[in-house]
């Protein structure tokens, strides 16, 4: 499609899935030339999110092929359009999940572009010139300035990359629900890519953090490496009962179907639980723990651009990054398989520059 889109004149080397269940292979394609509002970026690192895997496998039936995944992108600016004032050549920048939004609705005007009903994502979306969006498993990206953020100098470009999806996904509800208050008690359900960053945000802002997991063996990791204060095994009835009404907030990152009932009982009266994992089947939500505890269950999807920059700046100040395993592009297929088995601590990040010799 891009071959015939006017102005798509820049040739890019990347990695794509060409069909459902297909492997990721080297893929040469075109991006638009740098427009007046665009920032062109040499990609250095790209995180591998679970959503990438879902799209590669067409789990949700919405994938547009060829698919160049990747929405946790960091790199350096190589060119800016004539309307761009906030970025210059050489700047360290990041791009997350959003490629386009209408810029005119109530949500866009409030920098909640993520909730614009015309939002288009960084890959497998349709840009306003009709082309398919291609993500960060590639050497170069042309992004509208609205969706580009600065990466503070104090943050490493590899471990900062997953902040652009995993980080903002947990930070946005923490901010929106006013969770970032020292001394409050936060529960984090699931200790994966999202959960481990939620623990770090909680500790950086002085909260008491409890990790809730089905895996008892993660206790040591949660407490010693990530600094969690408490750990509850969700299948251990005794532990869960002992934790009843102990938490102000809960962030639930689990993407597998599960019952919210036992977890809701951990909340104090008027406590809030936010779902950021996305089970593909409905979760069990019993009404009694809601009613008898005046509790609230909310959802949240990534975050807006103003909020994403704010998160990046706070991560710079508090030295918050993701724990990562850096891989080379020729390891992408193996990494996706391992991601499917949750065999990673806690995020794969592709060293895009290392792929140069393989193309
Ligand atoms: Zn993601
Ligand atoms: Zn809009």
Residue 107 CA to ligand 2 center (angstroms) comes to 6
Per-residue pLDDT at 237: 95
Q: Which region holds residue 205: left if phi is over 0, alpha if psi is between -120 and 50, else beta?
A: alpha
Residue that is written with structure tokens 């990609």 in the block: 43
Indicate if 6 and 106 belong to the same structural domain: yes
In this structure, are residues 5 and 132 in contact, taking their beta carbons and an 8 Å threshold?
A: no
Residue 61 CA to ligand 1 center (angstroms) comes to 17
Residue 249 CA to ligand 2 center (angstroms) comes to 30
Ligand lying nearest the CA atom of residue 105: 2
Q: Please say whether the dihedral angle defined by the alpha carbons of residues 324, 301, 282 and 215, taken in this order, is positive or negative.
A: positive
Tell me how far apart the alpha carbons of residues 297 and 266 are, in angstroms, rounded to a whole number.
Answer: 13
Indicate if 134 and 152 belong to the same structural domain: yes
In this structure, are residues 233 and 353 in contact, taking their beta carbons and an 8 Å threshold?
A: no
Indicate if 147 and 9 belong to the same structural domain: yes
Indicate if 149 and 17 belong to the same structural domain: yes
Indicate if 330 and 281 belong to the same structural domain: no
Indicate if 9 and 127 belong to the same structural domain: yes
Tell me how far apart the alpha carbons of residues 228 and 354 are, in angstroms, rounded to a whole number.
Answer: 35
Mean pLDDT across the chain, nearest whole number?
95
In this structure, are residues 32 and 6 in contact, taking their beta carbons and an 8 Å threshold?
A: no
Choose the final residue of a domain: 299, 323, 340. Answer: 299
Residue that is written with structure tokens 């946790």 in the block: 72
pLDDT bin (cut points 50, 70, 90) of residue 178 is: very high
Tell me how far apart the alpha carbons of residues 161 and 156 are, in angstroms, rounded to a whole number.
Answer: 9
Residue 172 CA to ligand 1 center (angstroms) comes to 14
Range of the domain at 276: 167-299
Residue 268 CA to ligand 1 center (angstroms) comes to 30
Residue 181 CA to ligand 2 center (angstroms) comes to 31
Residue 243 CA to ligand 1 center (angstroms) comes to 31
- Residue range 2-13: average pLDDT? 81
Residue 351 CA to ligand 2 center (angstroms) comes to 33
- Residue 153 maps to which CATH number? 3.90.180.10
| Most confident region among 18-22, 39-43, 55-59 by mean pLDDT | 39-43
Closest Cα partner for 293 from 266, 312, 315?
A: 266
- Residue range 152-159: average pLDDT? 98
Indicate if 71 and 220 belong to the same structural domain: no
Residue 217 CA to ligand 2 center (angstroms) comes to 44
CA dist list (Å): 206 to 74, 198, 211: 28, 12, 15
- Residue range 5-14: average pLDDT? 92
Residue 49 CA to ligand 1 center (angstroms) comes to 5
Closest Cα partner for 276 from 147, 164, 174, 161?
A: 174
Tell me how far apart the alpha carbons of residues 69 and 24 are, in angstroms, rounded to a whole number.
Answer: 9
Indicate if 143 and 13 belong to the same structural domain: yes
In three-state form (DSSP H/G/I as H, E/B as E, the rest C), the secondary structure along the chain is: CHHHCCCCCEEEEEEEECCCCCCEEEEEEEECCCCCCEEEEEEEEEEECHHHHHHHCCCCCCCCCCECCCCCEEEEEEEECCCCCCCCCCCEEEECCEEECCCCCHHHHCCCHHHCCCCEECCCCECCCCCECCCCCECEEEEEHHHEEECCCCCCHHHHHHHHCHHHHHHHHHHHCCCCCCCCEEEEECCCHHHHHHHHHHHHCCCEEEEEECCHHHHHHHHHHCCCCEEEECCCHHHHHHCCCCEEEEEECCCCCCECHHHHCCEEEEEEEEECCCCCCCCECCHHHHHHCCCEEEECCCCCHHHHHHHHHHHHHHCCCCCEEEECHHHHHHHHHHHHCCCCCCEEEEEHHHHHHHC
Which residues hold their Cβ within 5 A of ligand 1, which is an ion? 49, 51, 165
Indicate if 42 and 139 belong to the same structural domain: yes
Residue 47 CA to ligand 1 center (angstroms) comes to 8
Residue 216 CA to ligand 2 center (angstroms) comes to 44
Residue 109 CA to ligand 2 center (angstroms) comes to 7
Indicate if 234 and 288 belong to the same structural domain: yes
Residue 112 CA to ligand 2 center (angstroms) comes to 8
Residue 110 CA to ligand 2 center (angstroms) comes to 9
Tell me how far apart the alpha carbons of residues 163 and 58 are, in angstroms, rounded to a whole number.
Answer: 24
List Cβ neighbours of 168 (8 Å cut-off, separation of 6 or more). Answer: 96, 302, 303, 307, 308, 311
Ligand lying nearest the CA atom of residue 106: 2
Question: In the chain, how many domains are there?
Answer: 2
Ligand lying nearest the CA atom of residue 169: 1
Choose the final residue of a domain: 260, 283, 299. Answer: 299
Name the more confident of 6 and 256. 256
Per-residue pLDDT at 2: 45
Ligand lying nearest the CA atom of residue 114: 2
Per-residue pLDDT at 50: 93
Choose the final residue of a domain: 299, 314, 332. Answer: 299
Residue 51 CA to ligand 1 center (angstroms) comes to 5
Tell me how far apart the alpha carbons of residues 356 and 359 are, in angstroms, rounded to a whole number.
Answer: 6
Residue 97 CA to ligand 1 center (angstroms) comes to 7
pLDDT tens-digit readout, 236-281: 999 999 999 999 999 999 988 899 999 999 999 999 999 999 888 8
- Residue 219 maps to which CATH number? 3.40.50.720
Ligand lying nearest the CA atom of residue 98: 1
Ligand lying nearest the CA atom of residue 101: 2
Ligand lying nearest the CA atom of residue 120: 2
pLDDT bin (cut points 50, 70, 90) of residue 358 is: low
Residue 238 CA to ligand 1 center (angstroms) comes to 35
Indicate if 24 and 157 belong to the same structural domain: yes
pTM of the entire predicted model? 0.95
Q: Residue 51 pLDDT more than 70? A: yes
Ligand lying nearest the CA atom of residue 135: 1
Indicate if 103 and 211 belong to the same structural domain: no
Torsion of CA 72, 22, 54, 158, to 10 degrees: -20
């Amino acid at each position: 499609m891009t071959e015939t889109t006017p102005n798509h004149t820049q040739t890019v080397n990347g990695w794509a899935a060409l069909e459902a269940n297909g492997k990721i292979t080297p893929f040469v394609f075109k991006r638009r030339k740098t427009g007046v509002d665009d920032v062109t970026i040499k990609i250095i690192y790209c995180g591998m999110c679970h959503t990438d895997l879902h799209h590669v496998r067409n789990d949700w039936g919405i994938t547009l092929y060829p698919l160049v995944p990747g929405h946790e992108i960091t790199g350096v600016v190589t060119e800016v359009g004539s309307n761009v004032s906030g970025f210059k050549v050489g700047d360290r920048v990041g791009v997350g999940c959003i490629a386009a939004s209408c810029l005119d609705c109530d949500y866009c005007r409030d920098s909640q572009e993520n909730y614009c009903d015309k939002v288009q994502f960084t890959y497998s979306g349709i840009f306003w010139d009709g082309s398919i969006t291609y993500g960060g498993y590639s050497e170069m990206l042309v992004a509208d300035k609205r969706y580009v953020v600065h990466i503070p100098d104090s943050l490493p470009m590899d471990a900062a990359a997953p902040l652009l999806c995993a980080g903002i996904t947990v930070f946005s509800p923490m901010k929106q629900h006013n969770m970032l208050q020292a001394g409050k008690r936060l529960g984090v359900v699931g200790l994966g890519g999202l959960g481990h960053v939620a623990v770090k945000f909680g500790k950086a802002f002085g909260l008491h953090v409890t990790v809730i997991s089905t895996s008892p063996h993660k206790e040591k990791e949660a407490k010693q490496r990530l600094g969690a204060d408490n750990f509850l095994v969700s299948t251990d009835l005794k532990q869960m009962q002992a934790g009843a009404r102990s938490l102000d907030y809960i962030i639930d990152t689990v993407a597998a179907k599960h019952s919210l009932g036992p977890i809701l009982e951990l909340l104090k009266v008027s406590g809030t639980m936010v779902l950021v994992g996305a089970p593909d089947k409905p979760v069990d939500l019993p009404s009694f723990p809601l009613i008898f505890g005046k509790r609230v269950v909310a959802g949240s999807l990534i975050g807006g651009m103003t909020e994403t920059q704010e998160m990046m700046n706070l991560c710079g100040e508090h030295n918050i990054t993701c724990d990562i395993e850096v891989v080379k592009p020729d390891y992408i297929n193996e990494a996706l398989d391992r991601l499917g088995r949750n065999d990673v601590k806690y995020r794969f990040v592709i060293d895009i520059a290392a792929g140069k010799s393989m193309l």
